[in-house]
Each structure stands twice: as C-alpha cells, then as structure tokens.
Amino acid sequence: MDLLEPTSQAFRLLLAGDPELLRIIWLSLWVSVAAIALVAAPSIGLGFLLAKKRFPGQRAAVVLVQALLSFPTVVIGLVIYLLLSRRGPLGSYELLFTPWAIMIGYMVIAFPILVVFTISSVQGADPRVYETARCLGAGRATASLTTLWEVRFGILAAVVNGFGRAISEVGCAIMVGGNIAGLTRNIPTAIALETTKGDFAQGIALGFVLMVVALGVNVLLALLQGEGGLK
Amino acid sequence: MTASLVRLHGLRKAFGARVLLDILELRIERGGAYVLIGGNGCGKTTLMRIVAGLEPVQAGGMEFGGEPFRLSAYPERLRRDIVYVHQQPYLFHTSLRHNLEYGLKCRGLPPAERERRVEDAIAWAGLQAQAATPPAKLSGGEKQRAALARARALQPELLLLDEPTSNLDRAGRGQTLALLGQLREERRTVIVACHDQEVIGLDGFTRLRLHDGWITQQSG
C-alpha cells in the first residue's frame, strides 16, 4: 500500500484547515476537557477518602473502583445507552447521540483512573505531611488539601491519564454518540470510520492530531512538574 | 513556684500486651526547658506524640494551662499551642517562605505580621542565604533549622522537639544546639527528646528519664 500519497494529502488537509476536520478536532477536545473538568474534583475527593479513611466496606469499594479500570468501554457504552435510550430511565432528557452522551461516557471511563491514581498518590505520600500540617495548626480539611498539594504531581498524572483515555476512546463514543457527521463525530470515531471506507488521508491527519495532543499534554505535565516531579 | 503549663496524669499507653507508658503524673513548668532521655524504644517519641495529640491512648488525662481534658478527647485548639517537630522534619515541597508562613496563615495572622515573623524566623535560623532555595535542596542541618524556625515563629506555648540533632553532621549539630540554647534563653517551654550527650548536658535543661514506662525527674 502506498502511504506517501495519503500522508501528504493528510497534511494538506490539516494545513488547509479543512472545516470538517476542524469540527471533529474541536468536538473531541471540548468534550474530553469538559468531561475531565467535571469528573476530576469528585474523583480526587473520593480517592483521598478511600486512601485515608477507614470505614466498613472501604476495601470492597477500592476493589470495585479498580475493577472498573478494566471494564470494556463498549460495556460502559452499552449501560449508558440503555440509561439514555428513549425507554431508559434518563430517556426524557434526550441526550443519546449528542456530545453530552459522549461526555457522560468519558466521565465514567476517566472516573476509576482518577480515583485509583489518587489513592495510589495519597497512600504513597509521606505520613509526616498530614501530621506536620496538623502540628502547625491546620484543621483536618486544610491538612487534607495540603496532602493533596504535596502529591500534586501524581494527581496531575491522573488527570492527564484520564484525559488521554477519554480523547482516544472509540467504543463508548460510537455507541452513545452514534458517530454522526457534524454532531458527534470525534477524532477516534472518525479515524475508525474513514479507515473502513479506505479514506486514509483523513484518518492519518486525525491520528497525527491525536498524537500531537497526547504529546502536548504530556510535555505540559512534565513542564508543570519541573524538577519536583522527578524523585 | 511557677504554675505548671502541662500536667499529665494516669497516662497509659500499650501496644497489645506490652505497656509502653504508665505515667502517674508529669508536670511541665511554664518557661521550663526539659530534655527527655531514655533507651531506644522506651517511648520518648510516643510520649511526645501523645502530648501533641497525634497518638491515641488507652487512658489518661492532661491539664494545659490549668484546663483539664481527657487525652482521648484531645481539644482541637491545643494544636495552636503545642507544636511537635518530627525527628526528621518534613518541609512542604513549596518554598522556604511558604513553609515558615504555613502555620501563621492557619492562625489567621495578617500579612504584615506574617511577613515580619517569616523574616525574623529566617534571620533566627541563619537561613538568609537559603531563603530562595527549594526545601528539597536544603541540607539536613538546614532543614532541621528551618523546621525549628517554623515552629518557633508560631510562638507556641509548648515546643516538642524529637531528636533534633540526630542524623546531622558536626556543623549541623552545632548550629542546632545553638538554637536550642537560644530557645532556653528566650524562656520558651520546650521538651527535647534525645540521646545526644551534648543536648543532655545543655545548661538549664531539666532531665526527664523514661524507663520501663515510668518517668523520673533530675535537676538540670
């Protein structure tokens, strides 16, 4: 197969600012960013509680969240589809086959990543962090926030991982978004579709964008971490 | 006779069947400097942590400034009056100034007062040259001095210092000893847990010996 021609065509599409391509890229970005923005705070909070507090069922809750990590995304998509479908309990909101449905799917997919990474970061934190904050006069809430701040690089890595998982997800996005041109078609679903149609140029262009986004986010993370991220 | 700042009574701390601390009564006088000595594992750190409200106990009460309470119901407000410094102090991964300012912010002090105390703490600990250095890059001695300055800046009623000279080189120990002497001169109420003979021999420090869970007091 000749890859040179579709690749050069892909870059021509990108450089020309093809409106369809830009719409797809914009949808992927805003839906992924919004999903992570909405799910980050509750997930990090839950991760902190599961790491620090002892309560009946805590272990089972951690195991459940860990199990969600390995849940197939098409199954997550199926569950959300059933909930949002016209005859489902949330059908009256008419969210199915809209970007909002994709956002909900992304939130569900990113949730266990954020929780598990937060648990790992907080449990790996030096126990003196919380004690030092308390000894210096901080209340429980302030000492907890101080602990989260001290493990901020781990938390940032969790957010970046969650974003990376969301923006590159296919199965759930196709099921609940429907891959509708101009409405719910995003980068990974478009790549899947264009490739099956034999239109490699758009697939390559979008794949390139996806890799640039992934690389960009990780470079940003490294810059934010600075030397503090390397221990 | 000065009034006792702290009176511990009926304190019992056990780990399983092993009773680590069984203290009938311990009085700490306001403005007094104490050195808590005893063998490894005798409970020095545990006792300090109990007084700081970091360690649960099986039984015991405490009076602080004449106000009695059960140690199992440690009052939150005492965390503003009693400051404990770990054997290996933790400095937050921010800046030295932020570390020095942290507890002052928790106390709601106005910015000008915080700034004044931070500057004073930096000068007291002799860390002017390190003021812009990230805490992670400070030496062991500098970290210890920063932690002492951070605790002192809060002007607590009681300072609890756990082995402040351990893991330090000769220079670091010398500087930390000088700061301990200054705390004594300033009439801060301070308890220092240690093995270090130079600390034990510091002028004006009353020795508290912990052995088999009991405390005995020797004049300084």
> Confidence class of residue A4 from pLDDT cuts 50, 70 and 90?
confident
Percent of chain A at pLDDT exceeding 70: 97
Residue A100 in any domain: the answer is: yes
The pLDDT tens digits for B88-106 are 999 999 999 999 999 999 9
Domain membership of residue A196 (yes or no) is: yes
Chain B residue with CA closest to A147: the answer is: B92
Burial class (CB in 10 A: 0-12, 13-18, 19+), B209: middle
Look at residue A229 and tell me if it is in a domain.
Answer: no
- B92 to A228: CB separation less than 8 angstroms, yes or no: no
Q: How many residues does chain A have?
A: 231
Please answer yes or no on whether A128 and B88 come within 8 Å at the CB atom: yes
Nearest CA-CA partner of B13 in B71, B57, B48? B57
The answer to whether residue A146 sits within a structural domain is yes
| A96-109 per-position pLDDT tens digit | 999 999 999 999 99
Q: Which residue in chain B has the smallest CA separation from A143?
A: B106
The 10s digit of each residue's pLDDT in A134-155 is: 999 999 999 999 999 999 999 9
pLDDT of residue B217: 78
- B220 within 8 A of B207, measured Cβ to Cβ: yes
Are B54 and A133 inside 8 Å of each other by CB?
no
Q: Is the Cβ pair A150, B107 closer than 8 Å?
A: no
Determine contact, residues B159/B179, Cβ cutoff 8 Å: no
State how far residue B53 is from chain A, nearest Cα, in angstroms: 9
Of B167, B144, B158, nearest to B91 (Cα)?
Answer: B144
pLDDT band at A2 (very low <50, low <70, confident <90, very high): confident
| Beta pairing partners, B9 | B25, B61
Residue in this structure with the two tokens 């992924």, named with its chain if needed = A32
Query: Which ipTM score applies to this complex?
Result: 0.92
A87 part of a folded domain: yes
Identify the residue among A54, A121, A136 best suited for mutation to test binding to B, counting B beta carbons within 10 A and taking the highest: A136
Three-state DSSP at A83 gives helix
CB A46 within 8 A of CB A75: no
What is the mean pLDDT of the segment spanning A163-185?
94
Q: How wide is the angle at C-alpha B150 spanned by C-alphas B110 and A227, nearest 5°?
A: 100
Span A51-80, average pLDDT: 93
Identify which of B175, B181, B185, B219 has the alpha carbon closest to the alpha carbon of residue B202. B181
Determine, yes or no, domain membership for A231: no
- Work out how many domains chain A is built from and give that number: 1
Cβ-Cβ contacts under 8 Å, B89 against chain A: 128, 132
Mutation target among A121, A128, A132, A156 for the B interface, most CBs of B within 10 A:
A132
Q: What local confidence, expressed as pLDDT, does residue B167 receive?
A: 79
Instruction: Answer yes or no: are the C-beta atoms of A137 and B106 closer than 8 Å.
Output: yes
What topology is assigned to B4-218 in CATH? Rossmann fold (3.40.50)
Q: Between chains, do A137 and B84 touch, taking CB under 8 Å as contact?
A: no
Partner-chain contact B106 A129, CB within 8 Å: no
How large is the angle between the packed helices B111-124 and B140-153, nearest 10 degrees?
Answer: 140
Torsion of CA B117, B122, B126, B129, to 10 degrees: -150
Domain presence at residue A71: yes
Q: Are B147 and B85 in contact (CB under 8 A)?
A: yes
pLDDT beneath 70, residues of chain B: 1-2, 219-220
Distance CA B184, CA A11 (A): 74
> Distances from the Cα of B2 to the Cαs of B6, B31, B61, B82, B205, in angstroms?
12, 9, 21, 19, 16
By residue range, what is the domain housing residue A106?
Answer: 4-224
Residue showing tokens 């093995």: B195
**If you average pLDDT over every residue of chain B, what do you get?**
92
How many of the other CB atoms lie within 10 Å of CB of A95?
Answer: 20
pLDDT (0 to 100) of residue A231 = 47
pTM of the full structure: 0.85
If pLDDT is split at 50, 70 and 90, which confidence band does A1 have? low
User: What CATH number is given to the structural domain containing A140?
Assistant: 1.10.3720.10
pLDDT category of residue A61 using cuts at 50, 70 and 90: very high
Name the phi and psi angles at B140, rounded to 5.
-60, -45
Q: Residue A159 and residue B33: Cα distance in Å, rounded?
A: 49
The DSSP-derived string for B116-167 is: HHHHHHHHHTT-GGGTTS-GGGS-HHHHHHHHHHHHHHT--SEEEEESTTTT
CB pair distance less than 8 Å for A136 and B106:
yes
Q: Which residues of B touch A (CB under 8 A)?
A: 52-54, 76, 79-80, 83-86, 88-90, 92-94, 102-103, 106-107, 134, 136, 150-151, 154
**Residue A3: how many CB atoms within 10 A of its CB?**
9
Q: What is the mean pLDDT of residues A117-125?
A: 95
* Chain A residues near residue B151 by CB distance under 8 angstroms: 136
Q: Which of B220, B217, B214 is nearest to B13 (CA)?
A: B214
Burial of B51 (0-12, 13-18, 19+ CB in 10 A): buried
Q: Give the max Cα distance, chain B.
A: 52
Inter-residue contact B9 to B61 (CB < 8 Å): yes
Q: A interface mutation test: which of B51, B55, B102 has the most A CBs within 10 A?
A: B102
